[in-house]
Amino acid sequence: MYASRNAQRLPGGAAVGVAATVTMDVVMVAAAKLAPDVFASEKNSPEAIGRWAAGLCRGRWLSQDLSAETPVRGEVWLGLAAHYLTGVVLTEVYLAALRKSGLRPGVGGATAYGIATAVLPLLLMYPSMGYGRCARRSGDVRRLVGSMLLGHAAFGAGIGLWAAATRRTG
């Protein structure tokens, strides 16, 4: 009974998801600025994500090399919208699973979840963009995989931290 009552007080995924995605973006931008040889790549920019999302909306599920394709009008905004919507949905999935099991989010478990969500870009998005599984055909494997793992770890930690902060403030 105690766990269920506390689980019902968990915040919804939208606010926590947006905050966790902002956390991810801040960490990824800072890492790219501080260590560009390790983390900076235009192949996972908002423009690239927007170009990819635009192709998906037109029924195009596979590119040969997305970075070589012609830019799409509004791709930055489409990329940001897709990125934040994905963050909100993934956060809601995590929080809903916790609610159902009567658990509370913690930074450790949420960080592990965030790292696990990195399989989505590594095994679905990158191949669809023409970069291959885990970006093996991108010419930028180390940067893309490193930034994705770091970013998703920050996303998960953000879920844990922001869910706790939201729970404390009401």
pLDDT of residue 11 exceeding 70, the answer is no
42 phi/psi in degrees, rounded to 5: -75, -10
Q: Give the C-alpha separation, 155 to 160, whole Å.
A: 9
pLDDT tens across 78-111, in order? 999 999 999 999 999 999 999 899 988 899 999 9
Show the domain range for 40: 2-169
pLDDT-based confidence at residue 169 (cuts at 50, 70, 90): low
- Quote the CA–CA distance of 44 and 36 in Å, as a whole number: 13
Burial level of 128, CB count in 10 A (0-12/13-18/19+)? middle
Average pLDDT value over all residues in the chain = 91
Number of domain units in the chain: 1
Buried b (16+ CB within 10 A) or exposed e, 59-88: eeeebeebbebeebeebbebbbebbbebbb
Reported pTM: 0.89
Spatial neighbors of 11 by CB under 8 A, at least 6 apart, are 95, 163, 166, 167
